[in-house]
Amino acid sequence: MSLLQVDFTLTGGQEKYRKFYPLLICLLVFICKMVMRLGIVLSICVLGLAGTVKSQSTNVRWKYFVTKKAEKVFEVHAVATIESGWHIYSQSTPEGGPIPTVFKFSTNPIITLTGNVREAGKLQKRFEKVFKVDVKYYNDKVEFIQQVSLKAKTKTNLKGSSNYMVCNDEMCLPPQSVEFNVSID
């Protein structure tokens, strides 16, 4: 029994089209094969994209928390835990190099940002032939710390985002942005 069975019952004037039936069958088989191939290609693309999204979201895990330093003075901590074999770049990565880590904070009339975001971790430096600059990056773990002061003694939130690029020795993934919202009181 064949996979494709076609029953051609010819009536009246249809006999003149009989010579085209083998061609129509070949065309039908070709279309079926193309549809199956397209389905397979689309499945592979979707699975590949899902794998990329998964790998991007798991190469760096972010944790945000706040510590009180004095009356109305706090530190907002953003801790990046980096998967083994990967690294993210310092905020002070030189121009012409890879995309540095950048923090953006939403405006809050009750909060004043004090100074720049500090970095705490084992800073690595090396000359990258690809970029022709000395790059600065972190493996394993890095903590970014922003000091803030409250204008009033009240509970509020600091919202923002951390934008970064994660790379290993073979490739870099597209830059990502992770939003955060921390409570300060």
pLDDT tens readout for residues 159-169: 999 999 999 98
Residues 77, 159 contacting (CB under 8 angstroms): no
- CA pair distance 52, 59, nearest whole angstrom: 11
Structure tokens that stand for 26 in this block: 């070949």
Q: What is the DSSP string of 135-155?
A: EEEEEEEEEEEEEEEESSSS-
- CA pair distance 185, 182, nearest whole angstrom: 10
Helix (H, G, I), strand (E, B) or coil at 84: coil
> 127 pLDDT band (50/70/90 cuts)?
very high
> 130 pLDDT band (50/70/90 cuts)?
confident
At the topology level of CATH, where does 59-184 sit? Immunoglobulin-like (2.60.40)
The residue-averaged pLDDT of 106-128 equals 96
Half-sphere exposure of 13 (CA within 13 A, CB side): 0
Structure pTM?
A: 0.68
Q: How many CB atoms lie within 10 A of CB 160?
A: 20
**pLDDT cut 70: percent of the chain above it:** 71
- Checking if the pLDDT of 46 tops 90, the result is no
- CA pair distance 123, 120, nearest whole angstrom: 8
Residues 6+ apart with CB under 8 A from 102: 91, 162, 163, 164
Of the two residues 82 and 41, the one the predictor is more confident about is 82
Q: What is the CA radius of gyration of the chain?
A: 29
- CA pair distance 100, 90, nearest whole angstrom: 6
- Please give the pLDDT value at position 50: 37
Nearest Cα neighbor of 136 from 80, 108, 94, 172 is 94
What are the residue ranges spanned by the domains of the chain?
12-57, 59-184
- Checking if the pLDDT of 51 tops 60, the result is no
- Checking if the pLDDT of 86 tops 60, the result is yes
Ramachandran angles phi, psi of 140, nearest 5°: 65, -70
